[in-house]
Amino acid sequence: MARSASLPEPWASVGDQLRARGQRWTRQRDAVVGVLSRTQGHITGAELLARCRQVDASVVPSTVYRTLAALEELGLVRHGHGASGREEFHVGADTEHGHLHCDSCGRQWEIGKEKADAIAALFQADGFQVDRSHVTIVGRCRDCLRARKD
């Protein structure tokens, strides 16, 4: 599949890495990797499937999820869960982070590694290691708090 070779690293070498592990490199996997290479932040499996089908209509859910699992083993994506429990995948170099979720307006945003590490340190002091990719703190955002006071 020549198309993946035109992608930036680390995505360009995914086909070679998967083949070295005895896995197949297909046109559908190439579509998944191509879409992910243009994605930053979070994406659900369903969102990824829809974007992949715009590139290649033959992409099926099992290919998306198997490819995501393989890419997680390679360290290119990391699964996590939003406030609703919905599984999502973090794409990009900065995967060590947490999330804040406003239960009033539904807005969600990331907290960086330093804040996530500070939260995790509170629990580590008690002998518990936190998986930062699964940290979502639910509360009220500043705008919703202000609106409630008015």
Q: What are the C-alpha distances in Å from 57 to residues 31, 62, 83, 85?
A: 10, 14, 31, 28
- The pLDDT value recorded for residue 130 is 87
| Residue with the larger pLDDT of the pair 4 and 114 | 114
| Residue with the larger pLDDT of the pair 83 and 21 | 21
Give the sheet arrangement for strand 108-111, strand by strand. 108-111, 98-102, 136-139
CATH of domain 3-91: 1.10.10.10
Q: Cβ-count burial of 136 within 10 angstroms (0-12 exposed, 13-18 middle, 19+ buried)?
A: middle
pLDDT tens string 67-122: 999 999 998 998 887 767 778 888 875 557 788 889 999 888 888 888 888 888 99
Q: Are 87 and 79 in contact (CB under 8 A)?
A: yes
CATH of domain 98-149: 3.30.1490
pLDDT beyond 90 at 48: yes
Give the residue range(s) of CATH 1.10.10.10 domains in the chain: 3-91
Give the residue range(s) of CATH 3.30.1490 domains in the chain: 98-149
- The pLDDT value recorded for residue 2 is 46
pLDDT band at residue 144, thresholds of 50, 70 and 90?
A: very high
